[in-house]
Amino acid sequence: MLHPTDEPGTTIATLANGVRVVMIDLPGVGSASVSVFVRTGSAHEGAKLNGISHVVEHMAFKGTRTRDCQRINLDAERLGAEVNAHTDKDHTAFHMRGLADDAPRFVRMLGDIVRESTFPADELERERRVILHEIADDEDDPLTIAFQLFDRECFGAHPAALPVIGRRANIERFTRDDLLGYVQRQYSGENVVIGVAGEVDAAALLEAAEAAFGGLPRGAENGLTAPPWSGGLVTKRLTGCSQAQVVIGWPIPSLVDDDPVGIVAAAVLGEGMSSPLLDRIRERKGLAYYTHCSADVLGLWGQFVIEASVASEQLGEFCAEVRALMRELARGVEPIHLERARNQLTVRALRSAEQPFRRVEEACLDLLFLGRVRPRAQSLARLRRVSGSRVAEGFASMLQAPVAAAATGRLPRQALDRIASILQR
């Protein structure tokens, strides 16, 4: 049975095994997005299994009990549909986008991929090589290395620090039985949300969901604890680099905290060329061509992140300017920058509301981590009510936590000591 939510046009049904189906009616939209979100990711794995969620995501498309890899692709593409998937630290998701009339068929096709994948041994060997190439690409990218080191400094020994892509040694040894066992443990009804957005037939969708996912065992919710913030500084010299890559961050509220102050703070500091970060670092000081600020908000944790590519001899000055900006904003936020941030975030939210894929993603993550779908209008109103004094308090709160930072690439001598002396003042 469908139950209405506080979000207009959005209804939820729960199958007998705990699988939840969220449907977002978008009249006049001829396309539809269908996604299956599973509450399992790299933070659920532990060191010995690190990377297995990502391998499962890759291998899910390599063959099921009734279709081989070629048939999976052909069945989607003959409908004009796109098939994709992604793995994150706290979830894995499988997606199809195509004509709204085909949405029930997409649910069945994703059910086949998620539930009936056989992980053929020969395909596993081929995909293993693909993922190892992917890891090699990451190992050649100083910014990716910096982000992986940064996560370790943020979360220490907690599994949230583990890279989604996994460890090379693990990828080399995972077997078909490892994948089958992981799916059997993690892919249960209590951990699955199906999301659909478009002008679709609700009754047909529910029938398809029951047929495709009704046989999943209910299971128990995949547990995950919020990581304590560690903080710390790390550097890694890399040969062949002409610049330094630096990532700096502090903790902010998570999705379950339902507090948008970190999101507003990131927009105040670094959204757009007129923002304090871009204006000072790039336009006035010329310290970096690329610098960016973001609020990375996951289910149980959030990271306020500043990243940049800088000349090694200017790394210390960059860190000093970042620290100065954070302190200035902790003392107060100029009204014009608060207005800019609010309006930029409002436009982003309104554009997101017009995209079926984004609507599905937001609703599924809400259900997985909050147990409800937040009304978009209320969320936007709460975001716009965040005051300048509240944002300043957010910056002050961040500065009370230990800073986490990682720098890679071409680094000056004693770079760690220099960064520490600036950022830890």
- In eight-state DSSP terms, residue 313 is G
Q: Strand pairing partners for 36?
A: 94, 194
pLDDT at 425: 67
> Three-state SS for 16?
coil
Give the Cα separation of 380 and 359 in Å (integer): 14
195: part of which helix (H) or strand (E)?
strand 192-198
The C-alpha angle with vertex 20 and arms to 18 and 24, in degrees rounded to 5, equals 170
Nearest Cα neighbor of 114 from 34, 223, 198 is 34
pLDDT at 242: 93
Token couple for 143: 């910014």
pLDDT at 209: 98
Token couple for 15: 């199958």
Token couple for 301: 């944790």
Nearest Cα neighbor of 231 from 46, 400, 392 is 400
Contacts 24+ apart (CB under 8 A), 124-129: 124/59, 124/62, 124/174, 124/175, 124/176, 124/179, 127/55, 127/58, 127/59, 127/62, 128/55, 128/171, 128/172, 128/174
**Quick check: pTM over 0.85?**
yes
- pLDDT 10s digit of each residue in the chain, 425 long? 678 888 999 999 999 999 999 999 999 999 999 999 999 999 999 999 999 999 999 999 999 999 999 999 999 999 999 999 999 999 999 999 999 999 999 999 999 999 999 999 999 999 999 999 999 999 999 999 999 999 999 999 999 999 999 999 999 999 999 999 999 999 999 999 999 999 999 999 999 999 999 999 999 999 999 999 999 999 999 999 999 999 999 999 999 999 999 999 999 999 999 999 999 999 999 999 899 999 999 999 999 999 999 999 999 999 999 999 999 999 999 999 999 999 999 999 999 999 999 999 999 999 999 999 999 999 999 999 999 999 999 999 999 999 999 999 999 888 778 788 888 76
Instruction: Estimate to the nearest angstrom the gap between the alpha carbon of 366 and the chain centroid.
Output: 13
Nearest Cα neighbor of 124 from 185, 168, 174, 51 is 174
pLDDT at 171: 98
Q: How far from 262 is each of 67, 294, 314, 383, 394, CA to CA, in Å? A: 45, 9, 28, 10, 7
Enumerate domains of the chain plus CATH numbers: 3-213 (3.30.830.10), 232-423 (3.30.830.10)
